[in-house]
Homo-oligomer: A and B are copies of this chain.
Amino acid sequence: MTVRREPMSRRERPAKPALSRPGIVDTAVRIMRAEGLDKVTMRRLAQELDTGPASLYVYVSNTAELHAAVLDALLGEVDLAAEGGEENWREQLMAVLTSYTMVLFQHPQLARSALVARPSGENYLRLLNRILDLLSRSGAAVEQVAWGVDKLLQTATATAAEHSARKGDPAAQEDWDALTGVLHSVDENTHPAVRAHMPALIGGAGERLRWGFEVLINGITSTPVPRGDS
């Protein structure tokens, strides 16, 4: 009788699996997809893994590092192959950047943390390598390409982070509304330039991303790095 009880309870609580870094990161990703990044806390994660928060510190040194690991996992979704002929580096570059941005758009809170805690994972490295390769086909100097890639990734990340204002967050739509409201009713005499640029200042949501990348690519390939730097 006691013989039977043992397997039963195993089936009910399906053999709590041993902790491991991959397992922890997987669970973190699952929580994020289901409920957003701010639910990915040490305590919540521990609960999900049927243990105490202290146990996680064997595999992860703090919350920031955990979020970085989640980001790198997500970066696996970026499409590096991208359509467009081998010779058309510009279109390919645009496609990869767009793919990266779209992945981050899905989780703007991650983009936010990516700006601060520089990622250095496997998937990030692959992405970096790919973009460097594409941009270097422009024929620009090595320094321009190196610094330029940084700028491209920065815009993409920052744009996605800003996006958390529109989506996700509850009170963040209000910020946007507040800004557009203020811009619409700005005083002609004190802020003439704002007035003069007014419809454009707010509009063009969709085209802005692509235009932003084009601006950067044009600027990067035509602006030499100050001499004497490596």
Write the residues of chain A forming the contact surface with B, with a CB cutoff of 8 angstroms: 61-62, 64-65, 68, 112, 115-120, 125-126, 128-130, 132-133, 136, 142-143, 145-151, 154-155, 157-159, 161-162, 164-165, 169, 171-172, 175-176, 178-179, 181-183, 186, 190-194, 196-197, 199-201, 203-204, 207-208, 210-212, 214-220, 222-223, 225-226, 229-230
Contact = CB atoms under 8 A, between A and B. Distances in A.
Contacts of A192: 129, 133
Contacts of A162: 115-116, 118, 154
Given A119-B179, A211-B226, A215-B219, 5 more contacts: A125-B191, A132-B194, A211-B223, A211-B225, A214-B223
Contacts of A68: 175
B218 A216 contact: no
Q: Which of A197, A204, A210 has the most CB of B within 10 A?
A: A197
Nearest to A204: B229
B182 A125 contact: yes
Contacts of A219: 214-220, 222
In terms of DSSP, what is the predominant structure of the interface of chain A? helix
Contacts of A65: 171
A192 B126 CA distance: 10
Given A157-B158, A223-B214, A230-B203, A197 B115 contact: no
B179 A207 contact: no
Contact of A204 (B183, B214, B230): B230
27 contacts: A62-B171, A112-B116, A115-B158, A116-B165, A117-B165, A117-B172, A118-B176, A118-B178, A120-B181, A125-B182, A129-B193, A132-B193, A132-B196, A142-B200, A146-B197, A146-B201, A149-B201, A150-B201, A151-B212, A154-B155, A204-B225, A207-B225, A210-B226, A214-B219, A219-B219, A219-B220, A219-B222
